[in-house]
Amino acid sequence: MISSSLEKALNKHLNLELYSAYVYAAMAAYFDSKNLKGFASWMKIQTGEEMAHAQKFYAYINDVGGRVVLDAIDKPADDYKSPSAAFKTALDHERKVTKAIYKLVDLAQGESHHATTTFLQWFVTEQVEEEAVADDIVKRLSMIGESPEGLFLMDRELGARQAAGSAGSSTAK
């Protein structure tokens, strides 16, 4: 059983995870339009991860007797000045998601809803990795600058990312 305020906040976050999937799907489309297939593939895998995050919230809300209510999803940006700008947006977005998770933890703790606090711990840990991976790519893209060779190599590297759980998947996210 959860309070209506916690139920509302969990549903709001479910929407944010769906929006995250939408943001990354739009970035994949941007990279495909630039023929950066490796970048696009990375973003498609990230889209799948965000959908999985949303599903975790969906299942949890039901598990604690809440009601899942889906809301409208905002339109994501569909163009970027550069691959670097896209990844900077991704990093900023992940920082926002982290803040939203922290607020949820505060709310759950304020209500002494230990199950929700425990459920959210997975996301607290996940956000450390989400930010670290995006930050690493932003820094490397900034070193590459406008170099086509650098972008080519990066495209190849990002294209090697495999979905979590697939054969030979790495921790690279």
Residues lying near ligand FEO in the complex (CB under 6 A) are found at: 17, 20, 50, 53, 94, 97, 130
Q: Judge contact between 49 and 143, C-beta under 8 A.
A: no
Instruction: Give whichever of 14 and 107 is closer to ligand FEO, judged by the CB atom.
Output: 14
| Smallest separation (angstroms) from ligand FEO to the CB of 136 | 15
Q: Judge contact between 173 and 161, C-beta under 8 A.
A: yes
Distance CA 98, CA 82 (A): 25
Distance CA 108, CA 105 (A): 5
| Smallest separation (angstroms) from ligand FEO to the CB of 53 | 4
| Smallest separation (angstroms) from ligand FEO to the CB of 68 | 17
Instruction: Give whichever of 100 and 144 is closer to ligand FEO, judged by the CB atom.
Output: 100
Instruction: Give whichever of 50 and 155 is closer to ligand FEO, judged by the CB atom.
Output: 50
Residue nearest to ligand FEO (CB): 53
Give the count of alpha carbons within 13 A of 128, CB side only. 5
Q: Judge contact between 164 and 46, C-beta under 8 A.
A: no
